[in-house]
Amino acid sequence: MANEPIGLIGLGIMGRPMARNLLKAGHKLVVYDIVPQAVDEIMSAGAEGARTAKEVAEKCEFVITMVPNSPHVKAAIFGENGVADGIKSGSLVVDMSSIDPTVSREVGGMLKEKGVRFLDAPVSGGEPKAIDGTLAIMVGGDQKDFDEAKPIFDAMGSAVLCGDIGAGQVTKLANQIVVALNIAAVGEALTLAMKSGVDPDLVYQAIRGGLAGSTVMDAKAPMMMDRNFKPGFRISLHIKDLQNALAAGQNTGVPLPLTAMAMEMMQAIKIDGHLEDDHSALVFFSEKLANVEVHRKAK
């Protein structure tokens, strides 16, 4: 696949580093984004730019979409000058956005009618792991299509085939539930430590090696204590993911009470003006209730 151009539509906070890693791996890349400056940035790294998603599809038989939500995926693929207007029969479209599993299945079905193959392949890890090329990639679709895409996934992270089309999105929603609740728990725990007069950094160091320890804790506890809420993954995007999770729960008859609580916490943070902060800003909810700010104590 290294000799055949890959199309990438969507050069946002995740798409740009993913594009760079594909280029580093030796892949030819044709890119498009509605923001021309983003296209220019990746062109300067060696990619070819396109003026529309249709043009990307005309030039590439392997097309990746990486856009914010379900409506954006539909627009990129089936909108005016979209992928479907230029894609050749037999091509493979891989949506790496995080969207509603129902929409993934709908998109896959519509592309199948055109003779086009489809994988849903959302990712986890945020901007840091997108930059490092160590994303967790959760894939839904046929084994043969997954095997074809695997060398390309390998340039961006580690991929696992989770089932049929839509299974990748279900897995991502499960991931986002665990991440949201883990961040909320870390924030609540550090707030308790701070209010109790115990150094939250020492609490973190004491518990991180035990059962409470997690990748989430190691990533987010230091950000909370350092008051660093520069977005690696925005509250706005996590709200979107939890909305999709709650919708999926309703569609399948699975109550998600803890997910609903995390959503309400994020809505409160949104009202306070932190929608575009990193999701580690969940700590604000506990801090506000306790009237305390989590930070490292002076040595």
Beta strands in the chain (DSSP E): 6-9, 29-32, 48-49, 62-65, 92-95, 117-120, 123-124, 135-140, 157-163
Phi and psi at 52, nearest 5°, equal -150, 165
Distance, in Å, from the CA atom of 111 to the CA atom of 172, rounded to the nearest integer, reads 22
Distance, in Å, from the CA atom of 295 to the CA atom of 268, rounded to the nearest integer, reads 21
172 is catalytic: yes
Beta strands in 76-234 (DSSP E): 92-95, 117-120, 123-124, 135-140, 157-163
Q: Which residue has the tokens 């967790």?
A: 136
User: What radius of gyration do the chain's Cα atoms show?
Assistant: 20
CA 94 to chain centre: 14
Q: Which of 272, 254, 279 is nearest to 182 (CA)?
A: 279
The residue from 54, 129, 172, 240 that is catalytic is 172
CA 104 to chain centre: 15
Q: Which of 10, 16, 79, 81 is nearest to 52 (CA)?
A: 81
Residues annotated as catalytic (active site), given as ranges: 172
